[in-house]
Structure 1
Amino acid sequence: MSADGLALAPPPGARPDWTIDQDWAGYTASEHEVWLTLYQRQIELLPGRACEPFLRGLETLDLHRAGIPDFARINEELRRLTGWSVVAVPGLVPDEVFFEHLANRRFPAGRFIRKPEQLDYLQEPDVFHDVFGHVPMLTDPVFADYMQAYGQGGRRAQGLGRLTNLARLYWYTVEFGLLQTPAGLRIYGAGIVSSRAESLFAVEDPSPNRIAFDLERVMRTPYRIDDFQQVYFVIPSLEALLDASQQDFAPIYARLQDLPDIPIAAILDEDQVLTRGTQAYAKGRPQ
């Protein structure tokens, strides 16, 4: 939940670290109803599509008890399980603020929720995307460690001028990642599990390519920010994802500096292809 180029001064009412009070008591009945509507339709869709750590996290945190979750309540369980907490922020935050929170096991979440007429698409992440989509995976110790490692790596990538490459890693794992399991493909990315349409598209539609995760391949691949993805990268396990993050990225960045980006829909000879997509959806959309 970061944004390049934002001014470093927090907006009025925010603390120096850009956090604000959630003000849970200030939510209206209508806002709670939007959460419950979104929750209900996702929970009917995700069994058999989302990975077990995500579904366990949903159950553990009881995210539907009274509409929009009270961060203070869910933080008690999160801290007990993995040492993480959710902090409210006024919207997108500067990269350095985002990385600092992740590196210290704090997940920044917007406090606002979309309007009833925006159930299917919202340009800026809201509390449903941030909390329903991201927070259940933070109950898993392996994924929790990966997110902290990402925050630590973000601060270093800034100094090396390689944020573009690192942002692609976040996009194709934390936001739009798929996991290979003995039962088949499962979703763990927040951008998928929080979207009714993409939950179906990511695992069932013949259009996108689905390719085995390779760190450097991911870092060379641009992404679609405003539509369904043309390629999804599939990890063999959460442990493999964590292992990939616990190496020195500096030599990787040095190699990537002299290499071109890989077109989004391309399939390379060395790719391990799980699904060679038709790209029918992307071809039918305006470019």
Structure 2
Amino acid sequence: MSIVIKNEQDIEKMRVAGRLAAEVLDYITPFVKPGVTTEEIDRLCHEYMVNVQGTIPAPLNYAPDGGTPYPKSVCTSVGPVICHGIPNDKPLKNGEIVNIDVTVIKDGYHGDSSRMYYVGEVGEHARRLCRVTYECMWKGIEKVKPGARLGDIGYAIQQHAEKAGYSVVHEFCGHGIGQKFHEEPQVLHYGRPGTGVEIQAGMIFTIEPMINQGKRHLRMLADGWTVVTKDRSLSAQWEHTILVTDTGYEILTTSEGTPPKPVFK
């Protein structure tokens, strides 16, 4: 499958879809607190997407390669869950961290973004992981420009994570996105500079590093979706959808509540 270079019409529709995805994350923020279930978070997000935005939740019944359809409208990955956590009836506890991953479809185009949330009072070890993971995403974003290589993104992310004492998940990666949920290219969060596909203006892809507090190894739970750290250490993830412009990049998944770019020392 070849990489789809987006035209102006595609890009305009992707801007709309990206902003709407970010606005779902804004909307759900005040609801993330001790005692709420991830099932309730899913219900609230679903109703906001369908009834307020007029968007379609892309994950609901998504079944790539004919596997088990994903049963919910968002992914909620708590604690040692790396990605694709299925919302359930277990209440969130004070001190936990959770990633909420939202993908909406608007006018046939996908907007995809995720953020980390603190549940109540969260310890510094978990806060640091979330903070460094956010920085990792940004280290990758800053490498995006025409003529650069995808390996430059992965290398920047891996260097920052490992310098902080963390590990990078290898099995899951960023991806091209547009009228399809997942397109080429695959955007690895590790790698060597100067390697991989050359980045071109008009590409749109996600950068979404999954960073573990312990080792990078993982296992899949019996539900066929939930991925957890093998050593049960905490994991964090942030995600933006990125447009490659003629001079660099534009983040498509921004809204009023989007956290600002970190200040690197």
TM-score normalised per structure 2: 0.32
Higher strand residue share: 2
Larger Rg: 1
Which structure carries more relative contact order (alpha carbon 8 Å, separation 6+)?
A: 2
TM-score under structure 1 normalisation? 0.30
